[in-house]
Amino acid sequence: MWGLWAGAVVSRRSFRGSLIGRLFNYKPIVLNEGGLELGSEVYVVVRGATFFDLRGEVLKAS
Domains of the chain, by residue range, sit at 4-61
Burial environment of residue 28 by CB neighbours within 10 A (0 to 12, 13 to 18, 19 or more)? middle
pLDDT of residue 2: 57
Q: What is the pLDDT of residue 3?
A: 64
CATH of span 4-61: 2.40.50.140
Over the stretch 1-59, which tens digit does the pLDDT of each residue have? 456 778 899 999 988 889 999 998 899 999 988 788 999 999 999 999 999 999 999 98
> DSSP E strands: which ranges in 1-62?
4-13, 19-23, 28-31, 41-49, 54-61
CA 44, CA 8: separation in Å to the nearest integer? Answer: 7
Instruction: Please give the pLDDT value at position 43.
Output: 92
pLDDT of residue 61: 84
